[in-house]
């Protein structure tokens, strides 16, 4: 409950700072805000010498509003794991659209495969 309250305070502050009343990731303003926040986080993580990995969790209809194309992400050097590559519609609970354990397992397997790959380990050295 406390976490939700603090999250709401942070979100309200960010909305006011961006002159938005609410957040709908389909609006150009919200997409621009999301892009800006992700870019800032990407650069800060990179500056600290760490890796920036994004896991895109698609909507239950397997669409995504991730604000970067595959080409843009690659050009920046972002590692993006797109959930649409490994989950299907039966990996969601029908009532609330959350992932079932099967989707979590698939995400864990995908991340494990990335993090233990020879290519990833070689880049980390």
pLDDT (tens digit, 0 to 9) for every residue of the chain, 125 residues total?
A: 555 566 677 677 777 777 767 666 677 877 888 889 899 999 999 999 988 999 999 999 999 989 999 999 999 999 999 999 999 999 999 888 899 999 999 999 999 999 999 877 777 65
Give alpha helix (H) positions in the chain: 2-17, 28-47, 70-76, 101-115, 118-124
pTM of the entire predicted model: 0.74
Burial 11-20 (b: 16+ CB within 10 A, else e): eeeeeeeeee
């Amino acid at each position: 409950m406390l976490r939700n309250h603090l999250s709401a305070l942070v979100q309200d502050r960010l909305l006011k700072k961006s002159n938005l009343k609410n957040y709908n990731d389909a609006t150009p303003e919200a997409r621009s805000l999301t892009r800006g926040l992700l870019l800032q986080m990407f650069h800060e993580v990179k500056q600290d010498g760490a890796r920036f990995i994004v896991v895109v969790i698609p909507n239950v209809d397997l669409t995504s509003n991730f604000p970067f194309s595959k080409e843009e992400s690659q050009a920046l050097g972002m590692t993006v794991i797109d959930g649409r590559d490994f989950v299907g519609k039966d990996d969601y609970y029908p009532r609330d659209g959350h992932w079932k354990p099967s989707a979590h397992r698939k995400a864990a397997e995908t991340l494990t495969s990335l993090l233990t790959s020879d290519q990833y380990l070689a880049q980390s050295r």
